[in-house]
């Protein structure tokens, strides 16, 4: 008798097999957050678009989705990891020279190109600045193609602000409006105090034409998106980056299902018009 191979159990396609990447640098961003610079050992994965993510594998521990947070000056891919569990803990304690596995890039992106000719308002909360940084860098690298740009960043405290030196560089430019706010101020803090959605009204943009990119804890995104809509931004021009429990990243396992949407393949970047109602459904 001939045993037929089960088509569902065949070896994974190359895109599902992690490729080897070596950690070249580790940047301590915050007490619980590090940025890993990685370089391909073999053939590199496709270039990620701003907002896309990789499945990052800590050998022997597990795999998690991590957004790409940019490229280093030497061109290495940057991923910013916050230690919240076993796998992110292993990734966060990685040393230069270590080997990791990467597959991807996966998911939708911020569609930076589609914002050309529009004012842009970027709102980041906490670690949400990491997936937004490549988009901000793209806007600033091609500054003339966009209208007014506002970058609003919120964090728990001044010590929890991600990418501080780069925020300072952006703030020093006269062609981008950067506003920082914290929930709890510390002595000497000169920025704002209060939640980041409150900064929306102060952004010097034409809300009726603006494109908004929002990333952070889901509660913060919900309030921010509503604040943007209240000011006149169309829900189709408000983009949020959702996070759900992802395992396969290719829409097969269903762990990240959000109503009719698979966050891994339809998202993570989605229009608020499509997911805004779902973001207010407790069961989702």
Partner 1 sequence: MIKLQEIAELLTETEVFDGLDPADLEFIAGCGTNVAFRAGESIAREGAPAEHFYVIRAGKVALEVAVPQAEALEIETLGPGEVLGWSWLFPPYRWAFDVRAVEQTRAVSLDGTCLRGKCADDTRLGFELMQRFARVMTARLQATRLQLLDVYGRDRAS
Packed helices 164-172 and 129-141: angle between N→C axes, nearest 10 degrees: 30
Least distance (Å) between residue 17 CB and partner 1: 27
Least distance (Å) between residue 130 CB and partner 1: 8
- How many angstroms separate the CA atoms of 78 and 103, rounded? 14
Q: Which is nearer to partner 1, 32 or 271 (CB)?
A: 32
Q: Which is nearer to partner 1, 115 or 136 (CB)?
A: 136
Residues engaged in binding partner 1 (CB under 8 A):
32, 82, 84, 125-128, 154-156, 160, 181, 183, 185, 187, 189-195, 197-198, 201-202, 216-220, 223, 243
Token pair recorded at residue 153:
């960043």
Least distance (Å) between residue 213 CB and partner 1: 16
Q: Which is nearer to partner 1, 20 or 198 (CB)?
A: 198
Token pair recorded at residue 71:
């490229």
**Overall residue count recorded for the chain in this entry:** 284
Q: Which is nearer to partner 1, 208 or 236 (CB)?
A: 208
Name the residue with tokens 């966009």. Answer: 146
- Taking a C-beta distance cutoff of 8 angstroms, is the pair 150, 177 a contact? yes
Give one word for 132, left, alpha or beta, with left for phi > 0 and alpha for psi -120 to 50. Answer: alpha
Least distance (Å) between residue 99 CB and partner 1: 26
């Amino acid at each position: 008798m001939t045993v037929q191979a089960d088509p569902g159990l065949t070896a994974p396609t190359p895109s599902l097999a992690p490729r080897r990447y070596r950690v070249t640098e580790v940047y301590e961003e915050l007490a619980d957050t590090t940025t890993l610079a990685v370089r391909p050992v073999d053939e590199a994965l496709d270039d990620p678009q701003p907002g896309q993510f990789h499945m990052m594998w800590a050998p022997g521990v597990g795999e998690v989705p991590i957004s790409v947070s940019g490229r280093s000056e030497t061109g290495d891919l940057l991923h910013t990891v916050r230690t919240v569990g076993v796998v992110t803990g292993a990734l966060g304690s990685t040393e230069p020279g270590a080997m990791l596995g990467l597959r991807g890039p996966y998911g939708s992106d911020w569609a930076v190109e589609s914002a050309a000719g529009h004012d842009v308002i970027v709102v980041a909360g906490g670690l949400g600045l990491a997936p937004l940084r490549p988009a901000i860098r793209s806007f600033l690298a091609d500054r003339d193609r966009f209208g007014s740009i506002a970058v609003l960043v919120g964090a728990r405290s001044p010590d929890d602000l991600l990418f501080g030196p780069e925020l300072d560089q952006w703030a020093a430019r006269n062609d981008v409006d950067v506003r920082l706010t914290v929930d709890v101020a510390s002595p000497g803090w000169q920025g704002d105090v209060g939640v980041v959605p409150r900064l929306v009204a102060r952004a010097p943009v034409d809300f009726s034409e603006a494109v908004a990119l929002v990333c952070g804890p889901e509660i913060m995104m919900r309030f921010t998106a509503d604040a943007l809509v209240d000011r006149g931004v169309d829900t189709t021009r408000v983009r949020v980056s959702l996070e759900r429990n992802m395992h396969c990243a290719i829409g097969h396992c269903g762990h990240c299902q959000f109503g009719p949407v698979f966050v891994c393949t339809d998202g993570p970047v989605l229009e608020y018009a499509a997911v805004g109602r779902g973001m207010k459904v407790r069961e989702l």
